[in-house]
Copies of this chain bind each other. A is one copy, B any other.
Amino acid sequence: MNPMKYGYLGPDGTFTQAALLAWEPAATAEQVACPSVDLALAAVRSGELDAAMVPIENSVEGGVTATLDALSVGEPLQVIGEVLVPITFVLVAPEGVGIDQVRAVGTHPHGWAQVRGWMAANLPDAVYVPTLSTAGAAAELRSAATTSDPPSYDAAVCAPVAAHGLAVLAENIGDRAAAVTRFVLVSRPGLSPAPTGADKTTVVLFQSSDHPGGLLELLEHFAARGINMTRLESRPTGEAMGSYCFSIDFEGHVRDDRVGEALMGLRRVTKDVRFLGSYPRADGKMASVPETAANEAFSDARDWLDRLRG
């Protein structure tokens, strides 16, 4: 049997790769860097990859809106897992370069945004050079000695996993301790992983018509069943400016009664519900389910209704 083949938003050394490395079942799989979220997901759709790890919230390397949009349209895909990666940055340079010699720093624009405070305090005169990724900034420094075209910066800001072969000039230089980015593992549609009690479900809702209070009516389907949302974003559908769909994560599994009833309700009142999967939460936090929305409450209510109907 061929090994599985997993993609990630590359290059080697990105936070997205760190996410894939943290996903145990991927340990024995071939791991492939992809140049963009879109290309990664296209490769999953075409069967070239079995799954791809992509950022979905708050990513340093970008890709979040690209991920949301790519999941919302085209051939269906399914989220089968999520990974949280603590975002910590290191300042790296080739061996022999001291921090006082750093005149220019390369990194991805989103990465730079997260170390600006440290830079202002420690390297106030350093020039910023944008790069395609944090990992790419480090990679160019590594190959600098062997190329006729060295990068225009002396040091790079990157994830600790991207530091190999370089000297770490400073650690933990992010302005926000405790920053975390969320990634999801996406594959072709299939059975959802079994419920664990600590699950999330992701859907995209397409409204039948746009009117004030329309979103409210959709959200009531969650509230009425005691379902907690954890992410909500309106995204342009691409058909016309002003036409939106809603990308939503919520607590619970498609096999939970409250989730099943909410999904059926949304199915009835929307133009379309795109089910993107139920999967275990990375943080293992059990869903907080009011007693009135527990599976027992649903089966009791069904028994009662059956008796009323005779």
Contacts and interface: CB of A to CB of B under 8 A. Distances in A.
Interface of A: 35-39, 42, 57-59, 62-66, 69-70, 84, 109-110, 112-113, 116, 128-132, 148-149, 176, 178-180, 182, 191-192, 208, 211-213, 215-217, 219-236, 238-242, 244, 246, 254-255, 260-261, 263-265, 267-269, 275, 283, 290, 292-293, 297-298, 300-302, 304-305, 308-310
Given A232-B215, A232-B233, A268 B293 contact: yes
A306 B268 CA distance: 15
B216 A219 contact: yes
B236 A234 contact: no
A254 B42 CA distance: 44
Contacts of A192: 308, 310
A57 B264 contact: no
27 contacts: A36-B109, A36-B130, A37-B113, A38-B109, A38-B116, A39-B113, A57-B236, A130-B132, A180-B240, A182-B241, A192-B308, A212-B223, A212-B290, A213-B223, A215-B229, A216-B219, A217-B224, A220-B223, A229-B234, A230-B244, A231-B244, A233-B233, A254-B308, A260-B309, A261-B261, A264-B302, A269-B292
A289 to B, nearest CB: 10
A interface majority secondary structure: mixed
